[in-house]
Copies of this chain bind each other. A is one copy, B any other.
Amino acid sequence: MAQPQKSFDAYFKSAFTVDNVIFGFDNGQLKILLIRRNEAPFDNYWGLPGYFVREGEDLDAAAQRVLREVTGLKDVYLEQVKAFGTPGRHDFGRVITIAYYSLVKVEDFELHAAGVAQEVAWHSVSDIESLAFDHEEIVQVAFHRLKRSIRSRPIGFELLPPAFTLTDLQHLYEAIWELDLEKRNFRKKILSMNLLKDLGRSQKGVAHRPAKLYSFDEGRYRELEEDGFNFELKEGKRK
């Protein structure tokens, strides 16, 4: 560090954290992973997984670390949402938090408590309340961001297993957008994009006509993207 001039010292008194809104899709519902804290402040409150960023640690890396601590996963879809820094949001001093959201496949891991977390659990987005710090606001902003992002980027697949049905995909969109979509039109639209690979397999043992299984064809997406293709879904009406 070159000449840390005396006059600037006063500014180097803050801390910053990352908080990660981890979304999962389970049983037709959009969920968020919360931890029950076991340290001050907000001891015993539910809140977002997050912690102070370490010296020399990049922000994205810190968010990934937090995610790994709770889920054991790495290389997960991650997007920065926004910095929250209202003075007084943290008891210990001036603490800015950089909020992220990530998308994980719920069946990829088992939950296990760790670090600040004495308990970890999935919560429905719709009944989130009394979280630590300003985490409720962060969840709202992240959720809103997710709603927009899945319109213009094929990231919904990050929440689904590698093989899924068109109905699964539709339910995912319906859960995130909080509305109902028209089956026929949704299918036509998504299939017309040529982003899904028909796996040639079907569901087994369901008490009705089995649905075909698809996977997201990432290579294909990159090809199309280079040709100027834009993924884009509309939120219709209804609900």
Contacts and interface: CB of A to CB of B under 8 A. Distances in A.
Given A2-B41, A83-B98, A98-B85, A93 B59 contact: no
Grouping DSSP codes into helix (H, G, I), strand (E, B) and loop, the A interface class, with mixed when no group exceeds half, is loop
Given A12-B93, A16-B14, A53 B85 contact: yes
A55, A56, A58, A228 interface centre (most CB from chain B within 10 Å): A55
Contacts of A108: none
Interface stretch (A3-11, A116-124, A190-198): A3-11
Contact of A55 (B2, B41, B55, B94): B94
Cβ-closest 4 pairs across A and B: A11-B15, A83-B83, A59-B85, A11-B52
**What class of interface size applies to chain A in its complex with B?**
35 or more
Interface in A34-84: 40-41, 52-53, 55-59, 80, 82-83
Nearest to A92: B4
Q: What is the copy number of this chain in the assembly?
A: 2
A3 B40 contact: yes
Given A59-B83, A85-B58, A85-B98, A91 B1 contact: yes
Which of A11, A40, A94 has the largest count of B CB atoms less than 10 A from its CB? A11
Contacts of A148: 152
Given A8-B15, A15-B11, A1 B93 contact: yes
A74 B93 CA distance: 29
A7 to B, nearest CB: 10
A13 interface: yes
Nearest to A85: B59
